[in-house]
Amino acid sequence: MHLHILGICGAFMGGLAQLARAAGHQVSGCDANVYPPMSEQLEAAGITLHAGYDPAQMATRPDVFVVGNAISRGNPLLEAVLDAGLPYVSGPQWLAEQVLQGRWVLGVAGTHGKTTTASMLAWILEDAGLSPGFLIGGVPLNFSVSARLGASPLFVIEADEYDTAFCDKRSKFIHYRPKTLILNNLEFDHADIFDDLAAIERQFHHLVRTLPAAGRIICNQREASLQRVLAQGCWTPVTNFNDAAGFRATGDDADGSLILSGAEGEIARAIWNLSGDHNRANACAALLAAEHAGVPLARGVEALARFQNVRRRLELRGEAAGVAVYDDFAHHPTAIAVTLAGLRRKTGGGRILAVLEPRSNTMKMGVMKDRLAESLADADRVFCYAADLGWDAAAVLAPLGERALAETDLEKLINAIAAAARPGDQVLVMSNGGFGGIHARLLQALARQASP
């Protein structure tokens, strides 16, 4: 089968393309911005890439066009496909029918931590010799790719609540039909498609409805929103984590300890590379999901001692003039605050310069803007790229006083960061996109500034 994928460089669609190629299909695709690291993965897999959505791509004559959820009506290639009456399908539907059918799907759902938790789960299964398939919205460093078919029935997937495609407004995860499901957390997001938190909770309950009685739900007991989801009806056994009287993960950032406990006390402990209560909670959920698939809890903890995290999760991109530049995917106020706290723990008392691109649809709409200044309070300086926003970033960040700068010109923003930085500083760049290649450009600017 020949697939031509619209929106191929997105994390999900790029992963799907790699799975299709590994399964023996011919794959080509297009995107408005063909950029690394996804473009590099796709080219390495032998996938032909086209820049833009020229209807001339119909001449490739694929058997089916697979349409990503970033593609809207009015897209010239999509309109040509519809006018010609050619076959098309959404990415999640194709994945469900061609890859997930008949497999033991382990889904990871939640507003935050999906990528890290799914990566932990895939690694625990891999380290235990179970060779899972996976499709993850990032690149786990233990694997160096975001997707693979695997050599067993097990398949780990990041279960996203965002809508499926222009023709299917259900959440993506409705298609996956997991047997094991992690419900990590749930708060309001995706304001472009959901009116309120209750609307997202309904989609989560639709997901819960698809689980078999022989399955397992791993649920964060501390999340009232998730308890409301389950209260709407649940037909699958539930194992709670973050439970003071049950399963929980604790530890100390100072010594890197991870301690898993249950109702009877400590189960196992290890020294690992991550820090923070949020990552320990992610680990607990991943361990319980892996146990459902056959990995003893103590064996799972042992595997996490070898877990290397995910690209773009406090990833050090380089150093210049004594200044370290980190990259992180954080874009929601909750994630921004947690990421800043994590870097503070990691680096100690040095200055942190936070650089933010409010790029998600929710952030661009300003739905979360009133929480932004508070989420950035732990930074010594704040630099915000304020282009294409529907709100006044300078006014929103005014509570931070002279610590904050909003700029609509990226080159001017980079120069301002370089001018403010001094040896020993940590620059934390946060965006869910490419951010105009700011990391390399900033490192270059810092190096030039330090040159005699």
pLDDT of residue 35: 67
Position 207 scores a pLDDT of 97
CB 250 within 8 A of CB 189: no
CB 8 within 8 A of CB 17: yes
Mean pLDDT value of segment 178-183: 98
pLDDT-above-70 percentage for the chain: 98
Name, in order, each residue with C-beta under 8 angstroms of 119's C-beta and a sequence gap of 6 or more: 136, 138, 140, 142, 143, 307, 309, 310
What pLDDT score does 10 carry? 86
The tokens describing 450, both together, are 């330090």
pLDDT, one tens digit per residue, over 389-444 is: 888 999 999 999 999 999 999 999 999 999 999 999 999 999 987 888 899 999 99
Q: CA-CA distance, 220 to 375, in Å (whole number)? A: 23
pLDDT of residue 409: 93
Instruction: Provide the phi-psi class of 150: left if phi over 0, else alpha when psi is between -120 and 50, else beta.
Output: left
Count the Cβ atoms, other than its own, within 10 Å of residue 32: 13
Compute CA 201 distance to the chain's CA centroid, rounded to the nearest angstrom. 19
- Under the banding of pLDDT at 50, 70 and 90, the label for residue 314 is confident
Query: In Å, what is the CA distance from 360 to each residue of 7, 122, 365, 388, 435?
Result: 16, 27, 9, 11, 12
* Listed residue (135, 118, 261, 113) closest to 187, CA to CA: 113
In what helix (H) or strand (E) does residue 381 lie, and over which residues does it extend? strand 381-385
d(CA 448, CA 152): 51
Burial category of 191 from C-beta neighbours within 10 Å (exposed 0-12, middle 13-18, buried 19 and up): middle
Calculate the alpha carbon distances from 232 to 198, 292, 444 in Å: 12, 24, 54
Give the DSSP H/E element, type plus range, for residue 334. helix 333-347
Measure the CA–CA gap between 212 and 222, rounded to whole angstroms: 24
DSSP string of 97-113, one letter each residue: IIIITTSEEEEEESSS-
pLDDT at 436: 85
Q: Residue 37: is the preceding peptide bond cis (ω within 30°)? A: yes
CB 302 within 8 A of CB 268: yes
The confidence score (pLDDT) of residue 365 equals 77
**Does the pLDDT at position 79 exceed 90?**
yes
- Please report the pLDDT score of residue 398 as a whole number: 92
**pLDDT recorded at residue 182:** 98
**264 pLDDT more than 70:** yes
Chain segment 45-74, per-residue pLDDT in tens: 889 999 999 999 999 999 999 999 999 999
Indicate the DSSP class of residue 68: -
pLDDT at 448 over 90: no
Q: Which two tokens stand for residue 357?
A: 């691109």
**What pLDDT score was predicted for residue 333?**
87
Q: What is the mean pLDDT of the chain?
A: 92
For 325-380, write each residue's pLDDT tens digit: 999 888 788 889 988 988 888 777 789 999 999 887 778 777 788 889 999 988 99
Report the distance separating Cα 312 and Cα 115, nearest Å: 10
Q: What is the pLDDT of residues 17-51, one digit of tens each?
A: 999 999 999 999 999 977 666 777 788 888 999 99
Q: Tokens 């680096």 belong to which residue?
A: 347
One-letter amino acid of 414: I
Q: Is the pLDDT of residue 452 over 70?
A: no
pLDDT tens digit string along 92-144? Answer: 999 999 999 999 999 999 988 899 999 999 999 999 999 999 999 888 999 98
Domains and CATH numbers, the chain: 2-91 (3.40.50.720), 102-304 (3.40.1190.10), 315-450 (3.90.190.20)
Residue 353: phi, psi to the nearest 5?
-105, 110
Tell me which H or E stretch contains 426.
strand 426-430
Coil, strand or helix at 178: coil
What digits encode the pLDDT tens for the residues 166-176?
999 999 999 99
Among candidates 270, 274, 277, 318, which has minimal Cα distance to 185?
Answer: 277
Note the pLDDT of residue 36: 67
Share of the chain above pLDDT 90, in %: 71
